[in-house]
A and B are shown apart, each in its own frame.
Chain A
């Protein structure tokens, strides 16, 4: 199972701060599709968001292990 942490407007759109997905491992792009299928309301913001695996930014082609700790990072606005 993969744990997906959601923040800010992403958590607001999803109505939750954490998603648990059955996940045997796969690419970041595949994980994006799974999240989108599960919560269509986040599709627009998800498309503009980065994905972090184990606290590091990951590219769409990168592998996400089955037990990964994932975060969706929508466009940032600190400062």
Chain B
């Protein structure tokens, strides 16, 4: 079925309202709803993170998130899909991204949430800066040649 179904995409500069996101994808034909949260992790190997700062090319990121959301709805026959990404400072344990998917059955809802996260990490213009407990800041740019997801 073609998008749009329930749910939307947004960038926020404060805490993510998880209840509102779940409510936005609620649908009487959904037998399964998945909420994925990506949270700031304290340890990566030996490195200790104090907090992450997220930055985005906002108009383009919103457009890319909407494209992913619509693609997920079609690809996994979702009743609803919503994506919220937080920008600015995100402390340890706090959510930087939330993806909610609603489908007739759980298999599609789980698969869609994972697919959306993979695609966000591949093609949406959002970046994190890792700030260590010692106060060192480092922008994270994975060691790949980035083609903007043109290979998809």
Chain A contact residues, CB within 8 Å of chain B: 5, 7-9, 12, 45, 47-52, 55-57, 59, 71, 73-79
Contacts and interface: CB of A to CB of B under 8 A. Distances in A.
Given A45-B141, A49-B146, A76 B126 contact: yes
A50 B148 contact: yes
Contacts of B148: 50-52, 57, 73
Interface of B: 38, 54-57, 59-61, 63, 85, 96-97, 117, 120-129, 139-150
Contacts of B129: 8
Interface of A is mostly: mixed
Contact of B122 (A48, A52, A76): A76
Please list the 9 inter-chain residue pairs (A to B) with the smallest Cβ-Cβ separation, ordered nearest first. A78-B126, A57-B148, A9-B139, A50-B148, A8-B127, A77-B140, A75-B146, A55-B60, A75-B141
Contacts of A57: 147-150
A55 B59 contact: yes
A57 B120 CA distance: 15
Contacts of A45: 141
Given A48-B146, A52-B57, A78 B97 contact: yes
Nearest to B118: A79
A74 B148 CA distance: 9
Contacts of B122: 76
Nearest to B149: A57
